[in-house]
Every structure is written in C-alpha cells, then in structure tokens.
A and B are shown apart, each in its own frame.
Chain A
C-alpha cells in the first residue's frame, strides 16, 4: 500500500486547517523552496510568457488552478491509482485540466487566450505541476495537497509577475498595457490618430530597450532575482 509514493509525508493526524505545518506549505515555496529560483523548474514558461504583466498574471492564475485542482484530484485518488501507471494518470489529469482552462479562456477572455496561445497548452509540460503531483499529492491528504498547490503556484506566479514587470516597463515602456513612461512618436493614441510628438520620458530622449522583449533578458532577470534572493537568504547558498 504505502509504496505508492516516495513523498514527504505530512503527519496524518487531525490538525487545524491552518496549522503551522500547513502554513509552511504555502510560505515555504515562496522563499526557501521556490520552484523557479531554487528548484529551477518551470523556467521555459517564465521566459516565454513574461513580456507583458497581463499575460504573466493570467498564466499564473491558470497554473494555480491546474496545480491546485490537480493536486486535490490526485490526492483524493492516491489510494486508487495503480502504481505502474501513476505518471500517465497524472498526465491525463493535468492535460484534461489544461484543456478545460484553455476552452474557458477562449470562451470568456478571448484576447488573453490569443496572447497566451500555445503557452496554455504548455502548462501540461510545466515540470512544477508534474513535480508537485508526484512528490506531494500522491502521498498526502487533499487539504495539504491543495495548500501545497496554491503555495507553489503563488511562488511561480510571483516570479513571473516580477520578471514581467521589469520586462514590460523597460521593454515597451508600459505596465498592464498603459504607457506609464509617456507617449512615443508613432504610437497609436486612443482616438485612433498617430502620436507625432513624444511626451514624458521619451521627450527627454529615452528609448525602450528592445532586448528586454526577447527571451534572453527574462533569463537574466530571473538570474538577478536569484542573486537578490540568495544575498538575503544565506540558507540557500551551497557550501
């Protein structure tokens, strides 16, 4: 029975919903055990989807839904899943959830779904999700599994938001689509005309950094975040 999963077992006693241990399930991934900066998982989507803040947040919410729901479902089924096909079962559950997310996005927030296009499908291959299902949900009760999913998704989303904040601001001078640094020459104004005069920072000769839009700068930004995090949290520095 118990060879089902090699996992970090949470004590299966009745304990309050937000016991210290359960809280740690959410707070740990945010810093000490961050899936992106410490475990270096899910990097590909962190590069692909962080050009704009809005995309990053929608991606994070989608991942959160898939991860939390996937964790709970796998956890509920943990005693029923045959050991030999458990990876396939997890994959089917993730894939089904992702397709659901994709369909819902297409129906309700069409422009966002267009922007995310293939990346939603790529949630399936996000190693964070498979990793949490295999390492945690298979060996734990639904509630801790749910918290673990939320915690990891929050940590993942947090990094995405930080990276996309800098990339959108420095790369296209906007935040959430609004031109916060002023108007560029040749930009389309809300009344449909072309701006012929630069305002704000652009009037002073500021130019967007086109490199920020390209994937390599996401990697460098993630690198900078890792640097800051390890400078603050010396536990993470390997001897």
Chain B
C-alpha cells in the first residue's frame, strides 16, 4: 500500500470520513424506522388505556379495539374545564414528558396550597397545562380514563385510572414504572396490586373529594383505600400522591358528572358555548361554534 496509514494527514481524513459515513447511516436508519416506532408507542398507550377498562388486547389489535371503544378524547385544563380547541389533541399529550418538564416541581412546591398550584399550572408553559381524558364505552356505559403520573422510589411511575359514569366509582386501574425495585415497588404493575382498585370510590358519602389512598397496614374494607405493597412504602406513597393530586385536577369534571347527568349539561353547554362540555355533545358545541362564526 502506497498510503502511510499512520501519518497525521491520513488519520485525520480517516476519522472525518468514518464519522460522516456512520452519521449518515444512523440518520437514515433512524428516519426510516421512526414511523414504526411511533406506531408501537401509540399502540402501547392504547393497550394501557384499554387495559384500565378491563380489556386486554394484543398490540396488533390495539388500534381497532381503541377506535371501537372510544367515545371521545377530551382535553381538560387545570381548572378541570374542557378545552374546546386544544392545541395538542388529547391522545398526543405526553403527560410523562410534561411531568418531567416542570410539572413535578409545581406539584411539589404547592403541595399544600391547591389554589397556588392551580395558578401555577394555568401559567405553565404556553397557555397552561392540558390534561387528557379518554371517554370510552364499557358495557354500554361511558367510562372516563385519566392518565396519572408521579414519582416512585427510583424513577417515574405512571398509569391509567378509570372512573365510572357516576363520577365516583373506580372501574379499573393500571400502573407501570420505570425502575422500581423488583419484587417490591415494581409490584405496582401486577394485577394483584391493581385489581383491588376496582369498585373503590373517589368521593365520600358527603360528596367530599377523597381520592384513593394506598394504605400501609391494610385498607380493611375502606372505600377509599387499597392495600400497600409491603417493602414498597415509598412507591406506594408515590401512587397515592399521584392519584390524589391528579384526580383533584379532574374533580370539577367528575362533580359535573355526579350532579348534572347528561341532559342538564347539554343545556348549559348550549347556553354558554365552550364553558363546560359533557362527553356526548362535543359535536353540538362545534356546530354552534361554527354557527356563531358565520
């Protein structure tokens, strides 16, 4: 070989060419595989949502099953009111990303003061925080799926909590985690932890908001508590915190479900467009919005 492979010039040229070739290759691979990867992530989300209403489907069937069962996907602001024209659709809101992007700090700083928290949430980012809510059909009834995000012992934990159409009763719950301790905190993604959430109530008899607490020492038949995982106290507390805090944001919406029922809400919506909406009449609102625009 005529070229001296150990000269400085050759070394520089070799390194430059290598880096460019490798970068091009990886960029190509990443771009061409991206659609499939995105689809996988979306299907996993659909699977989780469906699983929280008690439907286990494979990743391949997730999209059809989700579309079949979906009544609508709503976006809710920090006041618990439905956003009529959200910038990002409900399905595309990445609650975990939002949580990491600064929401966790807001929650932590204002844990004691709900009003201050709401003010901070409404001021967050570009036009306040938006929360997604998925309205699905289960056995002919509407159920309301709420994504929850929080912090466990080692990293983020998240899940979906489904509330029945009475706005009080939990229909199902799924949780998952990034890196909780196997056998301890990691048990939150097991059915043995998630099953007991079914039938619990997030409001007490007097209509006061309670949320659901993961209780150390056993829930003992409590309507608002489930058994904690022994040895997984911090993760269990994280689950409690994330459920109580998140559902509190949605509280006005659930109160509406309890009080009004569908008919009454229809009137309000038609009267004052965009203020409040129930799951069933988004089209009416859109219609009347278009009317007034004309």
Q: Which residues in A have some Cβ–Cβ distance to B below 8 Å?
A: 1, 51, 79-85, 88-89, 92-93, 96, 99-100, 103-104, 106-108, 110-111, 114, 186-188, 192, 194, 210, 213-214
B98 close to chain A: CB less than 8 A: no
Stretch from B5-13, B124-132, B141-149 at the A interface = B5-13
B33 close to chain A: CB less than 8 A: yes
B26 touches A100 (CB 8 A): yes
Contact bitstring B158-185, A, C-beta under 8 A = 1, else 0: 0000000000000000000000001100
A110-B40 CB under 8 A given contacts A92-B19, A99-B26, A214-B182? yes
Closest CB of chain B to A68's CB: distance in Å? Answer: 18
Closest CB pairs A-B (n = 3): A188-B191, A110-B40, A186-B192
CB-contact partner of A194 in B26, B36, B43, B195, under 8 A: B195
> Inside 8 A of A83's CB, which chain B residues have their CB?
5-6
B61 close to chain A: CB less than 8 A: no
B44 close to chain A: CB less than 8 A: yes
> Inside 8 A of A114's CB, which chain B residues have their CB?
44
Q: A82-B5, A106-B37, A187-B191 provided; 11 other pairs, C-beta below 8 A?
A: A1-B1, A79-B5, A80-B5, A89-B18, A92-B19, A96-B22, A96-B25, A103-B30, A110-B40, A210-B183, A213-B183
Within 8 A of A (CB), among B50-94: 54, 56, 59
> Inside 8 A of B33's CB, which chain A residues have their CB?
103-104, 106-107
B112 close to chain A: CB less than 8 A: no
B2 close to chain A: CB less than 8 A: no
Secondary structure call for the A interface: helix
A82 touches B18 (CB 8 A): no
A82-B56 CB under 8 A given contacts A100-B29, A103-B29, A186-B191? no
Complex: how many Å from CA A51 to CA B95? 30
23 contacts between A and B (CB under 8 A): A51-B182, A81-B14, A82-B14, A82-B15, A85-B11, A85-B15, A92-B22, A96-B25, A103-B37, A104-B29, A106-B33, A107-B33, A107-B37, A110-B37, A110-B40, A110-B41, A110-B43, A111-B59, A114-B44, A187-B192, A188-B191, A210-B183, A214-B183
> Inside 8 A of A89's CB, which chain B residues have their CB?
14-15, 18
Q: Which residue of A lies closest to B36 (CB)?
A: A107
Complex: how many Å from CA A81 to CA B33? 31
> Inside 8 A of B195's CB, which chain A residues have their CB?
194
A96-B26 CB under 8 A given contacts A82-B5, A106-B33, A192-B54? yes
> Inside 8 A of A84's CB, which chain B residues have their CB?
6, 11
